Amino acid sequence: MGPGNKTSISEFFFRFPIKQEQQLFIFGLFLGIYVITVVGNFLIMLTFGSDSHLHTPMYFFLSNLSFVDLCLVSTTVPKMLVNILTNSQDISYVGCLTQMYFFSAFACMDNFLLTLMACDRFVAICHPLRYATIMSPQLCILLVLLSWTISLLDSLLQSLMAMRLSFCKAHDLPFFFCDLPQILKLSCTETLINNILVYFTTGLLGVLPLTGIIFSYIKICSSILRIPSPGGKYKAFSTCGSHLCVVSLFYGTVFGVYLNSSAPHSSWKSTIASVMYAVITPMLNPFIYSLRNKDIKNALRRLMRRPIFFP
């Protein structure tokens, strides 16, 4: 790169803190996590598609969440495994922007699906007699398609804005994947417009859905507390427990990533938080839903008994 050429960048470097003697262990650990994530989320999707008892809005959104989680972890972990195996920490400029685009889109889609699932539980508990009418299959498909459209367009806009940046200093990223806020910190050009866009879309597509989830559960708790029988209250709470666990895990790790990354001397903490957000959460989601949900456990048993699995 010439001294006057600020935009001629060919690659970034990850500063993932792995010692030489830890590489084999870290590789095996993340390979195992990735395999478990793929198998777990694939089983959720396969169970939904093969069992007519699960063809309801709640499980439709859940199967979409499993697909998005599978895609989310596939944008980051395979590249990290290749880097560990080849003892390198680089990613090409185009590869970094591509990874950033898909990661942002899938993370945003995760956010929307959790919001749709909260709305579904709100209608089911607060308006049970109108549930089938309100949450029609056509509306559910339309909401998912709209969420995909917004997520992909938002990620495309962020990526196009990132392409206008120049990089003239160190190209080291503190995460093991390309994340937009970290890329903005490396730029030596003015990033005011990019930061305004990030804050605006975070507020519009992040804070508003989270507010909707909180509002939904305030109404849900209010309706549940009016149920006279303890058994009815327990049944209503149990239908929301899995979703609340996933919501807490998702938003807790998201806040952990960006609060730690903004603090000084937080490389290791940021790495742990980013691993929780981008790797551990997608792995745990299918287990949280399957272990706490009798319908899914019964459907999985019926799926495993089929001749295609045991000839």
pTM over 0.75: yes
For the chain, give the mean pLDDT. 82
State how far Cα 257 lies from the chain centre. 13
Average pLDDT over residues 209-228: 88
How many degrees, rounded to 5, is the angle at CA 177 between CA 172 and CA 178?
Answer: 70
Measured CA distances, 297 to 52, 220, 293 (Å): 14, 25, 6
Contact in structure between 155 and 108 (CB atoms under 8 Å): yes
pLDDT at 301: 77
> Which pLDDT tens digit goes with each residue over 297-311?
777 777 777 665 444
Is pLDDT of 69 > 80? yes
CA pair distance 15, 17, nearest whole angstrom: 6
Higher pLDDT: 192 or 115? It is 115
Higher pLDDT: 167 or 264? It is 167
Average pLDDT over residues 42-54: 84
CA pair distance 79, 143, nearest whole angstrom: 32
Q: Amino acid identity, residue 306?
A: R
pLDDT at 267: 57
pLDDT at 157: 93
Q: In terms of DSSP H, where are the helices of the chain?
A: 23-50, 57-74, 77-86, 93-126, 131-134, 137-163, 180-186, 192-202, 208-225, 230-261, 267-275, 281-292, 294-304
> Which pLDDT tens digit goes with each residue over 222-242?
888 887 777 777 777 777 877
What are the φ/ψ torsions at residue 218 (nearest 5 degrees)? -65, -45
* Lowest-pLDDT choice from 2-16, 44-58, 115-129, 296-310: 2-16
pLDDT grade for 262, boundaries at 50, 70 and 90: low
Tell me the range of 130-139, 231-240, 276-285 where mean pLDDT is highest: 130-139
CATH class, range 11-164+172-304: mainly alpha
In DSSP terms, which residues pair with 12 in a beta bridge? 91
pLDDT at 169: 63
Taking the CA atoms of residue 242, residue 244, residue 245 and residue 251 in that order, the dihedral angle to the nearest 10 degrees is 140
Is pLDDT of 6 > 50? no
pLDDT grade for 154, boundaries at 50, 70 and 90: very high
